Amino acid sequence: MKIGLFSSLFLAFFISFSSFFLGNHPEKTSNSRIVFPPIDSLSEEILGEILFHDPILSLDSSISCASCHIKEFAFADTVPLSVGMNGSLGKRNAPSVMNTASRESLFWDGRANSLEHQMHFPVQDGLEMALKFSQAVQRVSQHPFYSKAFQKVYGQKPDSSTIVQSIAAFERSLETTNTPNDRWMEDDTLNGRGLTPQQISGRNVFRSDKAKCLDCHFTPDFTGDEFWNIGLFNGKELNDSGRFSITRNPQDIGKFKVPGLRNVAVTAPYMHNGMFKTLSDVIEYYDNPSKFVKNPINIDHRLSKPLGLTSKEKADLEAFLRSLTDDQFASKFPNR
């Protein structure tokens, strides 16, 4: 099929545009500037992508969503706690926003029930972007590009509904399925495109009654959207009560949302507080939580005693977890 000159030029522009916003991260410095595309080229997802990278939603216009959700690391952060307004540290590790289209709840404590709902929290949190949402709406409405962009995409000026709708549309587009495990599941294994023998062995460990990984990490995104206490609450140095802060149900003390595992090899550090630097550290913890945390409160019964994984089983399990990495990240982080 032949492509016309206009279509070719538009395609070239779109590729350049996406590369700029998804690769260079102009928001990482406060004096950088967003380069806005032609209004006629906008879709809902592209508009949301621009806002995701624009620090206009923070109090002093220095922090954007992408400051803590970095594309190269599957839209997660690379530090235990992200840096927010005036150098403040957040309370919990910033999780990946990829593969969230099917999530029933969001945040480690599950306080939001949709991507639209979750957008309000980081913008208004005093430790993160620290801007009243009404002020954010006013800023976007008065901006010469956004006033025209929202009219083009939604047929109206920006408001609290369409702003979160656009960013949520962008986040819903961040689904990944190009992994060795996905190809293996689809019998697309020619030329080494599927799982290695070690990864197949690790998959068997993952699914075994011994390791118990599948009890919590199931569904295509490897999460059941449930909340479990894995032993990281003792009321002392580990005093984040997790889900309890939302429900006030004593049975929820120390429970946190089970994260999905797609691209987990590139989203370190791990856990709600970012306390583990590597996948190996995480596996060692699950194998014997009592070696790391003494007298945890309300720990799930499945972790009340050591799993007893062998060194080979641990190595194979880590290899399988790495097989959940999408191709766009695997080439950049071959050893992750």
Q: Which residues of the chain have pLDDT under 50?
A: 1-32
CA distance 231 to 234: 8
CB of 37 within 8 A of CB of 45? no
The predicted pLDDT at position 334 comes to: 62
Around Cβ 326, how many Cβ atoms within 10 Å? Answer: 19
Q: Which of 136, 154, 172 is the last residue of a domain?
A: 172
Looking at the domain assignment, is residue 335 inside a domain? no
**Residues 159 and 184 both lie in one domain:** no
Looking at the domain assignment, is residue 121 inside a domain? yes
CB of 253 within 8 A of CB of 244? yes
- 222: domain range? 180-330
Structural domains in the chain (count): 2
The predicted pLDDT at position 292 comes to: 97
Looking at the domain assignment, is residue 54 inside a domain? yes
Q: Which of 147, 172, 197 is the last residue of a domain?
A: 172
The predicted pLDDT at position 2 comes to: 35
Looking at the domain assignment, is residue 204 inside a domain? yes
Give residue-wise pLDDT tens across range 246-278.
999 999 999 999 999 999 999 999 999 999 999
CB of 138 within 8 A of CB of 115? no
Type of residue found at 225: D
**Residues 158 and 214 both lie in one domain:** no
The predicted pLDDT at position 247 comes to: 98
Kindly report the CA angle at 43 between 40 and 220, in degrees rounded to 5?
Answer: 160
Q: Which of 107, 142, 172 is the last residue of a domain?
A: 172
The predicted pLDDT at position 331 comes to: 77
Looking at the domain assignment, is residue 336 inside a domain? no
**Residues 222 and 319 both lie in one domain:** yes
CA distance 201 to 63: 43
**Residues 31 and 159 both lie in one domain:** yes
Whole-model pTM: value is 0.87
CATH number at residue 117: 1.10.760.10
